[in-house]
């Protein structure tokens, strides 16, 4: 009997030590520590957002890991930071977030989220703190609307840059291809949207609508021109080729935005063209 009692005690001790090596969940954050959600332009193509951490309290914290959890998005693993933060009005720590959970026919409302932070306060133990983010948060609402609108359109049609874009004076001339997927009726391509660096315009000059898909596919002749000839801007931009279209997936339906990005090689062609037409340094 004594052997079994000692074995149970040892097992319990190892269990306590193992738990001590992990972050323990605490009821609330240290005094003065709060978070909000932000997103920089450079985060958009990387599918990241920033957790803006504020610490007005007397204790330095160590932010070990961060994660966003919400029924509106698939959950991805923690992002490791190990970032010490003393008093700070705002320090942005970027994290990835998962794809939005979308309906193929309508945009769902955003659902509440939680920022999960594994952290230490001063010399204290590692612990897990949860910061609730309401469903009405502007960034949550925008992310769900943007991604689910694009998802609805992408189920209805496939839109892509044609492979051949040729120089026409100071412009690039090519086509956008639109192919029917699940859409059963007319699909209205209402407008073509440029980027921070390029205009994307239909050769026809037509807008609202640009074209209507009634058959299995169509081509939209288009022109690309630079919106700005700023060397610094072209060197730093992460969104130069994140083009969009506006379209309605059903006849008379709501108009949504869908991002349309050229293949990497074509994006490089656009950049080389801009370097030449803008006389930018290489």
Query: Residue 227 — pLDDT band, cuts 50, 70, 90?
Result: confident
Determine the Cα angle at 158 with ends 156 and 159, to 5°.
125
Query: Does 80 lie in the same domain as 37?
Result: yes
pLDDT tens for 12-65 read 333 434 444 455 666 689 999 999 999 998 899 899 999 999 999 999 999 999
CA distance 56 to 193: 42
Helix (H, G, I), strand (E, B) or coil at 219: strand
- Structural domains of the chain, count: 2
Query: Does 57 lie in the same domain as 98?
Result: yes
Query: Does 169 lie in the same domain as 90?
Result: no
Query: Does 129 lie in the same domain as 183?
Result: no
Query: Does 270 lie in the same domain as 161?
Result: yes
Closest CA to 266 of 147, 161, 118: 161
Predicted pLDDT at 281: 79
Q: Per DSSP, which regions of the chain are E strands? A: 24-25, 33-38, 48-55, 61-70, 79-85, 88-96, 113-121, 127-133, 157-161, 166-168, 171-180, 187-193, 198-202, 211-213, 217-226, 243-248, 255-260
| Domain annotation covers residue 12 | no
End residue of a domain, out of 136, 164, 181: 136
Q: What is the DSSP letter of 108?
A: P
Query: Does 263 lie in the same domain as 170?
Result: yes
pLDDT tens for 164-190 read 999 999 999 999 999 999 999 999 999
CA distance 19 to 126: 11
Helix (H, G, I), strand (E, B) or coil at 147: helix
Query: Does 85 lie in the same domain as 129?
Result: yes
| Domain annotation covers residue 16 | no
Judged on CB neighbours under 10 Å (0-12, 13-18, 19+), 198 is buried
| Domain annotation covers residue 15 | no
Phi and psi at residue 213, in whole multiples of 5°?
-85, 115
CA distance 250 to 246: 13
pTM tops 0.75, yes or no: yes
Predicted pLDDT at 11: 39
For residue 44, give its domain range. 26-136
Q: What CATH number does the domain containing 50 carry?
A: 2.60.40
CA distance 42 to 47: 9
Query: Does 258 lie in the same domain as 161?
Result: yes
Query: Does 218 lie in the same domain as 266?
Result: yes
Closest CA to 74 of 40, 95, 100: 100
Determine contact, residues 208/190, Cβ cutoff 8 Å.
yes
């Amino acid at each position: 009997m004594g052997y079994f009692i000692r074995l149970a005690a040892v097992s319990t001790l190892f269990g306590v030590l193992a738990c001590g090596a992990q972050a323990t969940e605490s009821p609330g954050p240290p005094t003065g520590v709060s978070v909000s959600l932000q997103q920089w332009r450079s985060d958009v193509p990387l599918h990241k957002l920033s957790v803006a951490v504020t610490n007005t309290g007397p204790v330095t914290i160590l932010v070990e890991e961060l994660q966003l959890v919400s029924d509106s998005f698939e959950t991805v693993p923690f992002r490791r930071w190990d970032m010490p933060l003393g008093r700070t009005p705002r320090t942005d720590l970027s994290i990835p977030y998962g794809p939005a959970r979308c309906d193929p026919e309508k945009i769902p409302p955003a659902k509440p989220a939680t920022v999960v932070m594994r952290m230490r306060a001063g010399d204290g133990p590692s612990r897990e703190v949860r910061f609730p983010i309401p469903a009405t948060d502007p960034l949550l609402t925008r992310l769900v609307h943007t991604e689910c609108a694009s998802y609805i359109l992408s189920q209805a049609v496939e839109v892509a840059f044609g492979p051949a874009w040729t120089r026409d004076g100071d412009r690039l001339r090519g086509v956008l291809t639109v192919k029917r997927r699940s859409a059963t009726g007319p699909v209205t391509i209402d407008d073509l949207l440029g980027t921070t660096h390029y205009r994307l315009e239909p050769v026809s000059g037509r807008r609202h609508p640009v074209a209507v898909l009634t058959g299995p596919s169509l081509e939209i002749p288009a022109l690309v021109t630079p919106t700005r000839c700023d060397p610094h801007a072209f060197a730093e931009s992460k969104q130069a080729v994140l083009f969009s279209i506006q379209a309605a997936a059903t006849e008379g339906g709501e108009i949504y935005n869908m991002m349309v990005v050229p293949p990497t090689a074509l994006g490089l062609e656009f950049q080389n063209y801009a370097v030449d037409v803008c006389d930018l340094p290489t």
